[in-house]
């Protein structure tokens, strides 16, 4: 527990963190990777270059300062980050490194404004927050290791099958190399894939949602090849998976993790996805269809039929299960798409169309996709009067804001 003086000092830094938070976290990562380059084997280099990780950490530090007198308020965020840490292999010995470099970055960025009193308060607060993370992650490691078919850290899997699902998405069917049991998971969860890519100095780790229902003799991930554009280069890992990995190759996987999962309820479910955001949505759909307990509406937005993955699987589930309905929205349909009537709406999702295909106000809404897409979905649902507690969404990568 923190004393009242420490709490008040931390709270006094909230306005400063609001202005300088990202500058502090940017300097933090620069310092840490200079002094501990071995950590580059863990962190996502692309998120660092794009500034996403720095922004996410700045937001987390700011939230910790705002709620320092009641850290239970940020417990859901701590658990969400804890899942990612366990999946990546973050351990207790990493936390002192983070603390040392975070405090040094605060001092460097704020200069004389970062008094010994402020730095002492933040050191004390960081110790409390780090202990919370370490405790929660220890429980997660234990749960992962002790469950049937579970394991800690990384485990070798064979690529049993590789299937091209669209022009940009390929599925990988993965089975344990040791032939032993496979841990179950909750629909919506993800695994980490650790790769040593030829020509790359550091190991790369990426997290991919599991794209099939639990209970199969394999894990499936469906990976979008990230093409280069004006804003960013081609994805190193996704390109290597698409072009360099073959059936029979071995990949290192962490056990399933994540808290973006279906809530226990009897309410109807509406699953809304954009692009490769359909991967956790399909896992949820397949599981719900097997249980046949709740009405399900599946809505997917893609550029066109050539970019639309897993369509046949969704349509088969809708055909075989009367409680499942599916709708497609294409932003740039091809002439063939138009001629075959391959979609239900041209353009982008909006509140009016969502009202037509998913009118249930008492449904639970789950959505995933690019951040602009999710922002538009959240806005459309809000306009329809859907309450925030009925909206559930997942970011691919560091948490952002809608």
137 is catalytic: yes
pLDDT tens, position by position, 84-106 = 999 999 999 999 999 999 999 99
Written in H, E and C, the secondary structure of the chain is: CCCHHHHHHHHHCHHHHHHHHHHHHHHHHHHHHHHCHHHHHCCCHHHHHHCHHHHHHHHHHHHHHHCCCCHHHHHHHHHHHHHHHHHHCCCCCHHHHHHHHHHHHHHHHHHHHCCHHHHHHHHHHHHHHHHHHHHHHHHHHHHHHHCCCCCCCEEEEEEEEEEECCCCEEEEEEEECCCCCCCCCCCCCEEEEEECCCCCCCCEEEEEEECCCCCCCCEEEEEECCCCCCCCCCCHHHHHHHHHCCCCCEEEEECCECCCCCCCCCCCEEEEEEHHHHHHHHHHHHHHHHHCCCCEEEEEEECCHHHCCCHHHHHHHHHHCCCEEEEEEECCCCHHHHHHCCCCEECCCCHHHHHHHCCCCCCEEEEECCHHHHHHHHHHHHHCCCCHHHEEEECCCCCCCC
Among the listed residues 62, 137, 165, 365, the single catalytic one is 137
Question: What pLDDT shows up at residue 399?
Answer: 62
Residues lower than pLDDT 70 in the chain: 397-402
Q: Beta strand pairing status for 296-302 and 219-224?
A: unpaired
Question: What pLDDT shows up at residue 401?
Answer: 58
Q: At what angle do helices 75-88 and 52-66 cross, to 10 degrees?
A: 140
pLDDT tens, position by position, 99-147 = 999 999 999 999 999 999 999 999 999 999 999 999 999 999 999 999 9
Question: What pLDDT shows up at residue 44?
Answer: 82
Q: At what angle do helices 14-35 and 94-110 cross, to 10 degrees?
A: 120
327 is catalytic: no
pLDDT tens, position by position, 57-78 = 888 888 889 999 998 888 888 8
Question: What pLDDT shows up at residue 400?
Answer: 59
Question: Which residues contribute to the annotated binding site for FAD?
Answer: 190, 206-209, 395-398
Of 328, 320, 364, the residue nearest 347 (C-alpha): 328
Torsion of CA 162, 166, 167, 171, to 10 degrees: -30
**Radius of gyration from C-alpha coordinates of the chain:** 22
pTM recorded for the entire structure: 0.93
Question: What pLDDT shows up at residue 177?
Answer: 98
Among the listed residues 29, 62, 95, 219, the single catalytic one is 95
Highest CATH level, class, for 154-257: mainly beta
What span, in angstroms and rounded, lies between the C-alpha atoms of 346 and 323? Answer: 25
Q: Where are the domains of the chain?
A: 4-146, 154-257, 269-394
Question: What pLDDT shows up at residue 382?
Answer: 94
Count the neighbouring beta carbons within 10 Å of the beta carbon of residue 322: 9
Residue count of the chain: 402
Question: What pLDDT shows up at residue 284?
Answer: 97
Question: Which residues contribute to the annotated binding site for heme b?
Answer: 85
Two structure tokens written together for 78: 């701590």
Portion of the chain with pLDDT greater than 70, in percent: 99
What span, in angstroms and rounded, lies between the C-alpha atoms of 355 and 377? Answer: 12
Question: Which residues contribute to the annotated binding site for NADP(+)?
Answer: 275-280
Of the CATH numbers 3.30.70.590, 3.40.50.360, 3.40.50.80, 3.40.50.2300, which one belongs to the domain with range 269-394?
3.40.50.80
Question: Which residues contribute to the annotated binding site?
Answer: 85, 190, 206-209, 275-280, 395-398
What is the CATH topology of the domain spanning 4-146?
A: Globin-like (1.10.490)
What span, in angstroms and rounded, lies between the C-alpha atoms of 210 and 380? Answer: 27
Question: What pLDDT shows up at residue 43?
Answer: 85
């Amino acid at each position: 527990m923190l004393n009242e003086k420490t709490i008040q000092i931390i709270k006094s830094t909230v306005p400063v963190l609001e202005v300088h938070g990202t500058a502090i976290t940017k300097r933090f990562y620069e310092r840490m990777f200079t002094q501990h380059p071995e950590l580059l084997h863990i962190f996502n280099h692309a998120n660092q270059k794009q500034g996403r990780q720095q922004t996410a950490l700045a937001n987390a530090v700011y939230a910790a300062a705002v709620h320092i007198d009641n850290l239970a308020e940020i417990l859901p965020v701590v658990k969400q980050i804890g899942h990612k840490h366990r999946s990546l292999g973050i351990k207790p010995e990493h936390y002192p490194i983070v603390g040392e470099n975070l405090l040094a970055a605060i001092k460097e960025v704020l200069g004389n404004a970062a008094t010994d009193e402020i730095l002492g308060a933040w050191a004390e607060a960081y110790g409390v927050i780090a202990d919370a993370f370490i405790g929660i992650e220890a429980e997660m490691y234990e749960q992962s290791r002790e469950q049937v078919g579970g394991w800690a850290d990384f485990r070798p899997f064979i690529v049993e099958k590789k299937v091209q699902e669209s022009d940009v998405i390929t599925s990988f069917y993965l089975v344990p190399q040791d032939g032993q049991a496979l841990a179950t998971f909750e629909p919506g969860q993800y695994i980490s894939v650790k790769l040593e890519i030829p020509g790359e100095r550091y190991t790369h780790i990426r997290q991919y949602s599991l794209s099939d229902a639990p209970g199969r003799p394999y894990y499936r991930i469906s990976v979008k090849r990230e093409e280069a554009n004006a804003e960013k280069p081609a994805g190193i890992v996704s390109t290597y998976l698409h072009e360099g990995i073959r059936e029979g190759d071995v990949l290192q996987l962490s056990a399933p993790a994540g808290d973006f999962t279906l809530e226990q309820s009897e309410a109807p479910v509406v699953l809304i996805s954009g692009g490769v955001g359909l991967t956790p949505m399909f896992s949820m759909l397949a599981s719900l269809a097997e249980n046949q307990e709740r009405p399900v509406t599946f809505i997917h937005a893609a550029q066109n039929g050539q970019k639309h993955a897993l369509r046949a699987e969704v349509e088969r589930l809708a055909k075989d299960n009367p409680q499942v309905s599916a709708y497609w929205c294409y932003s740039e349909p091809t002439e063939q798409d138009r001629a075959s009537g391959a979609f239900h709406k041209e353009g982008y999702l909006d509140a009016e169309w969502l009202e037509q295909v998913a009118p249930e106000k008492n449904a639970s809404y789950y959505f995933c996709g690019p951040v602009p897409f999710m922002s538009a979905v959240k806005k459309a649902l809000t306009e329809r009067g859907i309450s925030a507690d009925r909206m559930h969404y997942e970011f691919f990568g560091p948490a952002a804001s809608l």
